[in-house]
Amino acid sequence: MTVRWIYILKSVSYYRLRFLLISLFIAAGFATLQISLSLSHALTPDSSDQADRQLLVLNGINAQMPLPANYASKLNAMHDVSEVSFATWTGAYFRHPGWLVPALAVEERSFFTMNPELTVEPQAFSQWVQQKNGVLVDERFARRYGLHVGGRLPLQSSIWPIGGSGLLDLIISGMVSNNDRNSFPGLYLHYDYFQDRLAGAKGLVSYFMVMPRESISPASLAKKIDGLFEGNLYQGITQTATKNIHMQQLIKRSFDIGRAISFINFSVFILLVILLVTNLFVISQKNAEEYGLLYLCGYQKKWIAVTAVLQQFAFVMPGVVVGSLAGAGLVVTSAIWGPLALTGLQLSVTDVSVTLMVAAFLLVLVSPAAIWQVMISKGRVK
């Protein structure tokens, strides 16, 4: 080991408590940066999807309120409509009231053809159609809980009044594979069965899916649909748009994801800068006398300056590496937390590049203090 690295290691060892605290703070900052960048993918809809033609018809007063199921016949009667389906959010939970699962009561005739990302084996689909209390289970959900075809899947609802025992006693008819890995693992039961089990509030659906004819603009059809139901204030006026537009509007009503994440990252970065510049400037001041001794021992100022900069890097890099790995690890392992995976949480190449740029900028930012102390160190030896 060369004299330079022996000197750097001894310096880090001498300030070991300060080194530990700096490393922990940097690690926490970079882990937060990694997670916040990945959250932007999970919470921000992809508005660049040009194939997004399918319309969602929601309640125009409140998207969480249902609509009458008889709207389906009126939508099917529209000339510009190619296909219609609907689904009801059951508010079901599995095993524990806090473990809500995306279980939908769906109309089986068109639901899966209008959602081509959902793939069901023909035999499993045929079994499901014939089985009144059958349910199709996303294979990711089945693996998570060790479920298998033919097994029972008892669900309860936190928002709908279920008659009798209050239990949806379902039998798994088959598995569903979803090509969109950013979607939640869904459970799909029959709308008619769900209606039969309800103790009240029947004949309602959460949303309709409408596919325009090939030559029809989704935006123009959306206006016609909302115009058709604009007088139905008590039954339910509608708000119709594509999936991405609905998602963007929902997020904007809550908060601006991009600005929130940018604010978090900017705040973390400012705190990192303040901490690093302050602590490393103090360390370089305390080492100024040592720099002078090295100069008197015959080392050139260029050699001493490089050593001082590497010394600063030694305080910064462990925290950067540990924090980046910890953040990436949390993103990867998030799939096993809770009853369901946090889908869409991922790090892109751009996110990794941003992290590397921030790390490089921090390293450049802390270098001048060390170089300055080396340049003025001559004559400080007592």
What are the pLDDT digits (tens) for 179-189? 876 677 889 99
Report the chain's mean pLDDT, rounded to a whole number. Answer: 81
* Range list of H helices, 198-300: 218-228, 243-254, 257-286, 288-296
DSSP state letters, 119-146: EE-HHHHHHHHH-TTEEEEEHHHHHHHT
Select from 302, 305, 277, 294 the least CA-distant residue to 372: 305
Burial class (CB in 10 A: 0-12, 13-18, 19+), 377: buried
pLDDT at 31 over 90: no
3-class SS at 56? strand
173 or 144, greater pLDDT: 173
Q: What is the pLDDT of residues 107-158, one digit of tens each?
A: 988 999 998 889 999 999 999 999 999 999 999 889 888 899 999 999 999 8
Is-contact 268 22, C-beta < 8 A?
no
Is-contact 92 157, C-beta < 8 A?
yes
Cα 210 to Cα 278: distance, rounded to the nearest angstrom: 60
Q: What is the pLDDT of residues 204-231, one digit of tens each?
A: 999 999 999 988 999 899 999 999 999 8
The pLDDT, as a whole number, for residue 48 is 44
Q: What is the pLDDT of residues 311-337, one digit of tens each?
A: 878 888 888 888 888 888 877 776 555
